[in-house]
Amino acid sequence: MSFGPFLLLALLEGTVMAAVLALTAVGLNLVFGVMRVVNVAHGEFFMLGAVCAWFVTWYLPIPPALAWVAALVIAPLVVGAVAAIADVTVLKRLKYDPEATIVATIGLLYIFQQAALTFYGPDARPVEPPFHLRLQFPWFGYSGYKLFVVVAAGVILLGVWLLMTRTRAGLVMRATQIDRDTAQNFGINVDRVYAGTFALGAALAAAAAVLIVPIQQAHYLMGHDPLLLSFIVVIIGGLGSLRGTLVAALAIGLSDGVISMFFSPTLAKIIATLLVALVLVFRPQGLFGAKT
């Protein structure tokens, strides 16, 4: 193949990565934007979503397509419930102190990781995709499921935007984000908002994992890269800015796809890290973040 088809393939792979990364990073940024909590355990919620998807598709005695759909519903609900319990039992008791919550979420990271190792095991296990479709381009064939991942992630992100901008729940979350004390004085149950926000962020990471796990495999250590890349996206886009998160995820995903195709995945990660350093030096609030 000439350069053009290779570039097209790299852009397709980068788009798939950007879609999943945007879904994961939006969950992380949502938690920080509303709660001001840096959730270091966010990658493990991603991992728990993939592991839960494997359990659902493996043990439900239904066709693979229906099992995957069930996993897309069940895994985010289960992981969101786990996150809500973690918020109520750990973060709330720490009064959401920034330094304490970082340490606490690091502890949660290892707890979830070891729990997955105990009950799931050390092996990487595949999840059957809901359908097998190969699209034939003039130069190569490409997985139709990967393109479906992009569409599905876009639909979920649209749902998050509608939730935040068109519903009372989103209005309450944004009010709490702007001024917690004033929101509480107006009768908003801030603790319930925080628990719901933490659960929603974890559920988005779990949904991203269910989408990607038929392409990759479920493994108890798979949360590291999503966590690192999500932090990179959030820092570049701007803490608390969902629009910045989407733009940064698209930029990082496409650049990673192209650089990994023509050079190496390691170089792609190095360049992304350098971008973070430049943003922190010249625009600490991120490209779309507001100055405080």
In this prediction, residue 82 carries a pLDDT of 97
- Separation CA 233–CA 30 (nearest Å): 13
pLDDT, greater one: 186 or 67? 67
- Separation CA 171–CA 77 (nearest Å): 22
Highest mean pLDDT pick, 67-81, 161-175, 177-191, 257-271:
67-81
In this prediction, residue 291 carries a pLDDT of 62
Q: Is the pTM of this model over 0.95?
A: no
In this prediction, residue 290 carries a pLDDT of 63
Asked whether residue 292 carries a pLDDT value surpassing 70, the answer given is no
Residues 6+ apart with CB under 8 A from 49: 75, 76, 79, 205, 206, 207, 208, 209, 210, 213
Per-residue DSSP letter, 94: G
Q: Scan for tokens 């702007």, then name that residue.
A: 178
Segment 123-129 shows an average pLDDT of 92
Asked whether residue 2 carries a pLDDT value surpassing 70, the answer given is no
Q: Scan for tokens 């628990």, then name that residue.
A: 195
Asked whether residue 4 carries a pLDDT value surpassing 80, the answer given is no
230: nearest Cα among 10, 13, 25, 22: 25
- Separation CA 43–CA 47 (nearest Å): 6
Asked whether residue 166 carries a pLDDT value surpassing 80, the answer given is yes
Asked whether residue 289 carries a pLDDT value surpassing 80, the answer given is no
Cα 30 to the chain's mean position, in Å?
A: 10
Residues 6+ apart with CB under 8 A from 264: none
Asked whether residue 1 carries a pLDDT value surpassing 60, the answer given is no
Both tokens assigned to 212:
């990607």
Q: What is the mean pLDDT of the chain?
A: 90
Phi and psi for 91 in degrees, rounded to 5? -65, -40
Confidence of residue 49 (pLDDT cuts 50, 70, 90): very high
Give the range among 136-140, 150-154, 192-196, 242-246 with minimum mean pLDDT: 136-140
220: nearest Cα among 100, 92, 124: 124
In the chain, how many H helices and how many E strands? 11, 2
Crossing angle of helices 242-262 and 144-166, rounded to 10°: 160
Say how many Å lie between the first and final Cα of the chain, rounded.
50
Pairing outcome for strands 134-136 and 141-143 = antiparallel
In this prediction, residue 249 carries a pLDDT of 92
- Strand ranges inside the chain, DSSP E: 134-136, 141-143
